[in-house]
Structure 1
């Protein structure tokens, strides 16, 4: 294994696995496998990139560090020459963590300074300029992410946000330097390291910027960022003759289907609004979940009864309604009960024979995949930017699409089901 990735949630892991497997046009990517939690077994010898999906984004920082270091040790045992710590392209975190504490712990273990930190993903409108993160034409803290139910992003200055998390100075490399090329970026990273700066925010507003950053970090033990920063990494190994282009094809899976949506993002709410005009859909009211009026058995029965018609169940609400519910019942209680509801629903669906499953939302995807205990998935074609087809290994494979809340076109749900079937 050449490249090891530690992702702080399951949709993000799929996103970066897709980027690494796809590579640059005309160049190809690496043979990539996504592992659902740190494996207890060794990787096959033909795997060139291993992506470990953790559910560590919103847990206590000490536990996130522990899980991430455990994943790091496994990747190093597989022979990885470089580690990528992948976090959300909207930098989802709190002033306490977990991005900064985990990145710092990984850097200390690897003895690395002047480490790239770049959440940019231009294909989905995430760009970093002058150390500030933009979503489309809006600063991060004016994009709607300031209302995130778990990790509200109230400051677009990623240097300032990261400094709160690490309690130490954070470096910055501006776009002019990035546009000067990989060697100039590398010089600035080395200078940051000499000043003792562990993490360095690097501007990027286009994919060419990310390719240059990847080339500059070719010899770095550690790089951190969103999936976009991985665009140029496969080419480094291919250029060295350590890897070659590979076939990304996986066989589609036909059979019964279901859609589970737990994200409250604007994109997911738009997708739900379109989908429910044409397909059987059922909203989940949190009050009914808390009181036991709605159970996983109820949701599974609805979805199974409507197979063949792209059925959907969803708990998505407006930011105002989410805030009201959290104030009434407590944020952790609401999140925990919804995660368990979706997890148990997914277990029942797969046990009943559902073989195509679309899941929207990072936390929801993590709960579902953990419940299904799938171990590892192969990476297939891209459905929409950042969302590939995933097919589980072993007996009775399941085809999955794990969508970050803000990803995907309005017709994503139907499109995903078609791609999962190989159409």
Structure 2
């Protein structure tokens, strides 16, 4: 029976956290969407992660979905909970992190929680409550102009305070660096008895300290980094090997990239120099969506025949100038158009034999997983901090096809736009050979 339950505000965040939990010895299952009824216990997981698409949802919907997920996790037997959001704290002053945090605390009858987006392995650190992306402050990094969640302030206390009814306090670096006992002593002071505690963390040891000091908290919140300090009952390495897929050597793969992040643009450039590739034509999609998607699918099928072993790359953004400003063109916004197109491509390509899909971008990943009817993910081979392969049963046929219950096993790597090595699009496949 699971004892740890997590709620992730997007699909790549769910697999990011699940990757970390597997490495820490938790047999982990990712459930897509609010599980109704509660997820079955036949897989005997130690941790359940519910993948929502709530980061950019209307606040009321994000809160309702998160509470429904929490109640399902409680019913499944979970006793401790983790609210997972992005390590870049993607939100706005009117964002969803604070309202969801408040609702979860109220539901659990808890007075306080810790706020720990830091993930040093991916370059995210917090010092004096300011969030850094590698060597840059968040508001000076490429996240400043993110098309969906632009981040114009790096000060987490300032960012979170307008979002929550609770008092937001800083847990300074000097206290964290002094060790778990020092943090616990500070937390025992009356002023820290309630509220949201934004913790500085610049190293993995800081994360281990914070995890140890807050082990009694019913709810913790943060990026996946905080789980570095968790300890599960099983061997993470053995679990990863046991979960790794064993596909046929001639399996068909495809890269679907909807992210506009700097990290993904570098991966696109690297992949395009080595793989068959095609950039999405937004004008063509607006003119005749079905015809352009059909052309993309035809290109991928032709690539499988002409260049076997080299997964085709379908991408939306290769350079920063490719990002279409909001409202620049009439009709469907660019981000929504890209998600819909890549999700449709995924569904049609799985029907045509694709069994390996590497998807870049949180919103794109959510759209693809939803289009494929995926209900759960079993984590597999890690590809780096925050990125892993997973095995899932996809349902690419709808009722209109007369085969709604025909499942297809696929390998999925769902990558946050900001994560992964520059050669990820070409190197990831070696883990499945």
Q: Deviations over 1:328-365 (max 9, x none)?
A: 23797322222211111111011111001110001000
Pick closer, same or farther for the CA change 1:319–1:273 going to 2, 3 Å: closer
The equivalent of 1:202 in structure 2 is 199
CA distance in 1, matches of 2:121, 2:331: 32
Does residue 65 of structure 1 match 2:77?
Answer: no
1:37 maps onto 2:33 in alignment: yes
Residue 428 of structure 2 corresponds to which residue in structure 1?
416
Deviations 1:216-252 (A, max 9, x none): 111111000000011112x1x54xxxx6765222233
CA contact (8 A) 2:18 2:379 kept: yes
Structure 1 residue ranges without an equivalent (≥5): 24-28
How far residue 323 of structure 1 moved from its aligned partner, in angstroms, is: 4.5
- Kept in 1, the 8 Å contact 2:256–2:358? The answer is yes
Let me know the Cα RMSD of the aligned residues. 1.9
Matched-pair contact (CA < 8 Å) for 1:269–1:317: yes
Aligned partners of 2:389 and 2:412 also within 8 Å = yes
Q: Distance in 2 between matches of 1:118 and 1:18?
A: 18
- Which residue of 2 is the match for residue 180 of structure 1? 178
Contact 1:120–1:126, Cα closer than 8 Å, also in 2: yes
State how far apart, in whole Å, the 2-side matches of 1:127 and 1:332 are: 36
CA separation in 2, counterparts of 1:192 and 1:299?
Answer: 60
| 2:373 matches 1:381 | no
Give the conservation status (yes or no) of the 8 Å contact 1:179–1:209: yes
3-state DSSP of counterpart to 1:389: strand
Whether the 8 Å CA contact 2:268–2:318 is kept in 1: the answer is no
Q: Deviations over 1:64-83 (max 9, x none)?
A: 00111111001001111111
**SS of equivalent residue, structure 2 residue 427:** helix
Q: Is 2:340 the counterpart of 1:340?
A: yes
Residue aligning to 1:26? none
Distance 1:195 1:216, change over 3 A: closer
The answer as to whether partners of 1:114 and 1:192 remain within 8 angstroms in 2 is no
**In structure 1, what is the Cα distance between the partners aligned to 2:77 and 2:51?**
18
**TM-score normalised by the chain length of structure 2:** 0.90
Q: Select which of 296, 301, 305 maps to 1:299.
A: 296
Aligned residue number for residue 399 of structure 2 = none
Instruction: Quote how far apart the aligned CAs of 1:171 are.
Output: 1.0
- Which range moved further: 250-259 or 112-121? 250-259
Distance 2:56 2:10 in 1: 9
Residues 85 and 97, structure 2, Cα contact 8 Å, conserved in 1: yes
2:144 alignment partner, SS class? helix
SS in 2 for 1:80: coil
Alignment of 1:14-413 (within 5 A): 14-23=15-24, 29-41=25-37, 42-44=39-41, 46-191=44-189, 196-197=194-195, 199-233=196-230, 235=231, 238=233, 247-249=239-241, 250-254=244-248, 255-292=251-288, 295-307=292-304, 308=308, 309-324=310-325, 326-329=326-329, 333-393=333-393, 395-413=407-425
Q: Does the residue aligned with 1:228 lie in a helix, a strand or coil?
A: helix
Q: Distance in 2 between matches of 1:47 and 1:349?
A: 31
- Match of 2:379, SS? strand
What's the TM-score once normalised by structure 1's chain length?
Answer: 0.92
Equivalent pairs, count: 408
Cα gap change, 1:206/1:330 in structure 2, threshold over 3 Å: closer, same or farther? Answer: farther
Q: Given that residues 383 and 389 in structure 1 are in contact (C-alpha distance below 8 angstroms), is that contact kept between their aligned partners in structure 2? A: yes
* Residue 169 to residue 323, structure 1, CA distance change in 2 (3 Å): farther
